[in-house]
Structure 1
Amino acid sequence: MITVDEHRARVLAAAPPLPAIAQLISDSTGLVLAEDVVNRWPVPLFDNSGMDGYAVHRADATVGATLRVVADVPAGSPEDPAMAAGEAVRIMTGAPVPTAADAVVPLEHTDLGTAISEAAPETITITVEPKEHAHIRRTGEDTPAGSVAVAAGTVLGPWQLSAIASAGHETILVHRKPRVAIISTGSELIDPSGTPERGQIPESNSVLLAAAVTQAGAEVAAVTRVPDDEHALRSVLTGLDVDAAILTGGASVGAFDIVKAVLDGTGSIEFTTVAMQPGKPQGFGLTEFGVPAFCLPGNPVSVAVSFEMFVRPALRQMAGLHDIDRPRVIRTAAASWRRKPGRVQILPVVFDDETVRPASRGGSGSHLVTSLADATALALIPADVDHVSEGDRVTVMVLS
């Protein structure tokens, strides 16, 4: 039996980030940036006005001074009008400030107020004296040319994409989302809406995994249910064109454990036992095509726990994310529970700002799927602890 950390290390070593691809920023929402994006230009590109108003010589703009308006500069104008003493230029927000000006007086700080005519007025009278460099956004004030606008490893949302566009880029290098196949095995499985006969159960693992894969930042490429038939499983595996495959069921030592029968020894895939409860039987490795294959137990809680401990970090790493782990906090046990020592217990729990308690009264059995609906975290109990007492400090992996 190997430790959780040993199995995790093997998984992560075989699941590096996917190769970067060039993509338009308009198609990159939710992807991870593969290299730093550098500002091609200073931001702002030029000295520009932060207000609608009048560009002035500050020394002339005393309260009560009347200035002659000699030009009009709208946003987007290339003009750089000259300004003599006692003169002003009407200017709109974002327009380049005339080289001769050293302040902008807002419309509301003149006798004309905020009323704007199509043509610039002949004169204005100052009612509020501007401060030095008032309302002028200086070149490079936000960031200089050559500086990093958005760093590699950043998940690209609206603000980050806007910054990239402002930096002068339309195409960037990103890691695409891993495409994942989900394969549930077991002749006992039926559709959730079906009526189970004796020995049958609704299939829920693929529903759990499809949602979990999506939340992890990957893409579900295929969802398949396979009976306990080696030929059927080989047929499904042969047709896969994905970056990773997750199989549930058939990973232990049962007489009908077809996943192990088909994949053990294929490529680098190995089946082992991990010192964790639930989720002890695990299989992992690269197929003969170099695709990471996660072979998980079949019980739903085992699937949920195995995904969080091994699959989710690997998928996030493949997507190029630097932050691959859930946050962990310490809480006080609000109840006592016993467990068998020798394996790390990974228990679905409910927690608040101070305490943590099991999500199910039935303990951490791998079949207690209903407890998952209430769980907001997983408690991580070390292998050498055989009893958790009320008031003990517990490490909690936060799921939401």
Structure 2
Amino acid sequence: MRDHSKHIQISCEEVVSGLLAACNFSPKTEMVRLDESFGRVLDEGVASACMLPNALTCRMDSIAVHWSDFVEGMPDTSGWVRGKDWEFANTGVAMPEGFDTAIVIKHVVVSDDEQRVEIDAAPSAQFAGTSAIGSRLKPGDVLAKAGEIIAPDVAARMAGGNVASVAVRRKPRVAFIPTGSELVPAGSAVVPAGKNVESNSLVVRVKVEAWGGTFLPSDIVPDDPNLIIAAVRKACACAGIVVLNAGSSKGSEDWSVEQLEEIGTIICHQVNHGPAHHSSAAVVDKTPVVGISGPPFAASFTLGFYLQPLMNKFLGFSVRPFKVPVRLTEPFPIAGPMSGHNARKNCAGEERPSEVVAGKQFFGVRMLNVEARPDGSLAGTPVTGRSGSPATLSANALLCLNRARVLPGRLRAMSFGLSYGSGRGKQCAMLFRLRRPAVFAS
């Protein structure tokens, strides 16, 4: 049996720091069409290429007049001729040639034949109701800054400056390698006895694309050391970040960390939280490799913990966590590995021994449903149930309870919030640590 006694276990924060320190990203710029740039990150500032408006323009639906006719007061319009003394002028359209002032159409009565007008309000000054040449944009005016995400409004602003293509940061390429001789692809005609359907590639793909990356899938790799090495090296050659769906479990067929040690540098074999205790981190061929656990729930949230900060760094976003206060609506139940029953010294053979090490922190990941209260504050309600079960589908946040400090019937833990955000809506992972009734969320 292989010796796992010297496996390195570090905290979530230490894993992120180690991975970020090992990164040597050299993002490149590429030009893309503006209409294909939504969600991309600008690598260079964008300036207007035109003058807007490029002619004296009417601001509202109006009639165009000559200011000189109003210098002495309201004129007699009974003899006015359309095209000579007045003309229709519409919103955003250049003023008719020779006219310099506009009167809103609501202050005008137009005859049925649209040739004569009566006016009940005079303009306040010359050029009233108009926009001057260049009053909206001039060549060289800044439309967007480097680092901005191209949202629809940003794209429209650039299009208004006659910009058709922009320089954006090339997307981080994230390769995903699912491993396990027990896995078969989703949609297989038959799922043989003892086999599982591989589903984590879907989770990884959606998150990678939502966080601004390009997903590079791999075929399922059997539990064979040589095949795992070949797959990792191939992935490192074509991607900037690799996700290896095999942690550091101690089963007889779990080979991934041994292979990562053989061909790269291990940052850690395991982390101080569970589920996903057997997550790993390494660097192979100067490429960060995030090893995530197989169970879907653990695989999903650890991507937010360890993959998203790497992608944020590549794209130039902040990798620092941010905090938002949340208040618990009720105490978290003490159950599972944290209870006195499961913490007994002589565990039954089918029960996993506690991962808590005396004097060290270990966190149990629990689920919350965070909602806004009428007063604008956020409230978090514990969600109970087996991870991934229908009962937990309402959960939209995660809480980390310090098992080393939790005693039967009482809840004690440090207060600290960690969430990596990129400005992309709610696509961030959430990690909380609780003290009394307050937690921090995002």
Q: TM-score, normalised by structure 2?
A: 0.72
Instruction: Quote the sequence identity (%).
Output: 21
Find 1:206's aligned residue among 197, 201, 206.
201
Q: Is the CA contact (8 Å cut-off) linking 1:228 and 1:258 kept in structure 2?
A: yes
2-side partners of 1:249 and 1:324: how far apart?
27
| Corresponding residue of 2:256 | 259
| Corresponding residue of 2:91 | 93
Q: Which amino acid aligns with 1:334?
A: E
1:359 aligns with 2:354: no
Q: Is the CA contact (8 Å cut-off) linking 1:15 and 1:292 kept in structure 2?
A: no
Q: Is the CA contact (8 Å cut-off) linking 2:19 and 2:267 kept in structure 1?
A: no
1:23 aligns with 2:32: yes
Following superposition, the deviation at residue 52 of structure 1 comes to 3.8
| Corresponding residue of 2:211 | 216
Runs of 5+ consecutive residues of structure 1 not aligned to the other structure? 73-86, 363-367
Matches within 5 A, 1:165-314: 165-192=159-186, 194-195=190-191, 197-198=193-194, 200-240=195-235, 241-288=238-285, 290-314=286-310
Q: Which amino acid aligns with 1:392?
A: R
Following superposition, the deviation at residue 165 of structure 1 comes to 1.8
Following superposition, the deviation at residue 104 of structure 1 comes to 0.6
Following superposition, the deviation at residue 45 of structure 1 comes to 4.0
Matches within 5 A, 1:98-109: 102-109=100-107
**Tell me, what secondary structure is at the counterpart of 1:173?**
strand
Following superposition, the deviation at residue 315 of structure 1 comes to 1.9
1-side partners of 2:269 and 2:54: how far apart?
59
Q: Greater CA deviation, 203-212 or 93-102?
A: 93-102
**Tell me, what secondary structure is at the counterpart of 1:237?**
helix
Find 1:54's aligned residue among 45, 63, 75.
63
Following superposition, the deviation at residue 377 of structure 1 comes to 1.0
Q: Greater CA deviation, 303-312 or 274-283?
A: 274-283
2-side partners of 1:222 and 1:42: how far apart?
46
| Corresponding residue of 1:348 | 367
| Corresponding residue of 1:80 | none
Following superposition, the deviation at residue 273 of structure 1 comes to 2.9
1-side partners of 2:436 and 2:368: how far apart?
15
Instruction: Mark the CA change 1:323 to 1:29 in structure 2 (over 3 Å): closer, same or farther.
Output: farther
1-side partners of 2:59 and 2:310: how far apart?
47
**Tell me, what secondary structure is at the counterpart of 2:263?**
coil
Q: Which amino acid aligns with 2:380?
A: V
Q: Is the CA contact (8 Å cut-off) linking 2:19 and 2:310 kept in structure 1?
A: yes
Q: Greater CA deviation, 384-393 or 206-215?
A: 384-393
Find 2:120's aligned residue among 127, 134, 144.
127
2-side partners of 1:274 and 1:116: how far apart?
82
RMSD over aligned Cα, in angstroms? 3.4
Matches within 5 A, 1:61-100: 61=70, 65-66=76-77, 68=80, 71=83, 87-97=85-95
1-side partners of 2:274 and 2:146: how far apart?
37
1-side partners of 2:58 and 2:128: how far apart?
9
Q: How many residues align?
A: 372
Instruction: Mark the CA change 1:128 to 1:166 in structure 2 (over 3 Å): closer, same or farther.
Output: same
Runs of 5+ consecutive residues of structure 2 not aligned to the other structure? 1-8, 339-355, 373-377, 413-433
Once the two structures are superposed, residues 350-383 of structure 1 have per-residue CA deviations (whole angstroms, 9 ceiling, x without a partner) of: 2223532333345xxxxx3326533211124457
1-side partners of 2:393 and 2:219: how far apart?
24
Find 2:437's aligned residue among 374, 377, 393.
393
Instruction: Mark the CA change 1:107 to 1:209 in structure 2 (over 3 Å): closer, same or farther.
Output: same
Instruction: Mark the CA change 1:126 to 1:160 in structure 2 (over 3 Å): closer, same or farther.
Output: same
1:156 aligns with 2:144: no
